[in-house]
Amino acid sequence: MPESFTDTPLLTERFDAALHHATAHHARQLRKGTDVPYAAHLLAAASLVLEMGGDEDEAIAALLHDVVEDGGGPDALAEIERRFGPVVAGLVLDNTDAVERDPDGGGRDWYDRKRAFVDGFPRKSPAALRVSLADKLHNARSILLDYRTFGDDLWARFGQRQGLATRVYYRELARAFEGERERLGPSAGPYVDELRRTVDAITALTAERQGPDSREFLR
């Protein structure tokens, strides 16, 4: 089959500028416990958003979704709005679980942020949910691949001995996205299913290595 082309490309120079903005901000950052540049995750998230039928604003938000949370703070959010518009800034904010994080918050801070993030799903727009789904799906795939490769040593990256909190969080995420399936749109449905398969595979592999766990909610 011959390649397809369009006279009206979805991605413009705004996307190019956002990619440069993201890679500059995360230039020294690596994926947890690896030598992989953090930009790999941002590119994967943007790719997944586009595969789900997202528009350019969503793809740009996927590139920038961690800028505010990973050290940028309110000033970074204001810069994103100035350069890429209020729609993109809103999508980034909806995918930021803490604009200004308490450095002494510890485990309870993590719990509160994740609980609030999941509880906020019904109030988020379909566009914001697609950006989030792309982010979480790529993270879940990476966790599964690395768990198969490195075993339980993987969980040390998350500051956990057995990884229970992370697994419970991703089970909740899978359930929350399933609850929003209709609002996400038909093109996103297969990616909701893929997140569920990936999370279930993590749970099954953990049951083989650690024994089953029954905890289902971040309570």
Q: Percent of the chain scored above 90 by pLDDT?
A: 82
CA angle 205, 207, 211 (to 5 degrees): 145
Quick one: angle between helices 39-51 and 126-150, nearest 10? 130
Residue range 39-69, pLDDT digits in tens: 999 999 999 999 999 999 999 999 999 999 8
Report yes or no on 219 lying in a domain.
Answer: no
Domain that includes residue 72, residue range: 13-210
Residue range 180-217, pLDDT digits in tens: 999 999 999 999 999 999 999 999 999 999 999 877 77
CA angle 155, 160, 161 (to 5 degrees): 80
pTM: 0.94
**What is the band of 107 on the pLDDT scale with cuts at 50, 70, 90?**
low
Q: Which residues are tagged catalytic? A: 69-70
Distance (Å, whole) CA 163 – CA 78: 35
CATH number for the domain including 127? Answer: 1.10.3210.10
Report yes or no on 8 lying in a domain.
Answer: no
Total number of domains constituting the chain: 1
Q: Where do we find the tokens 């995360």?
A: 26
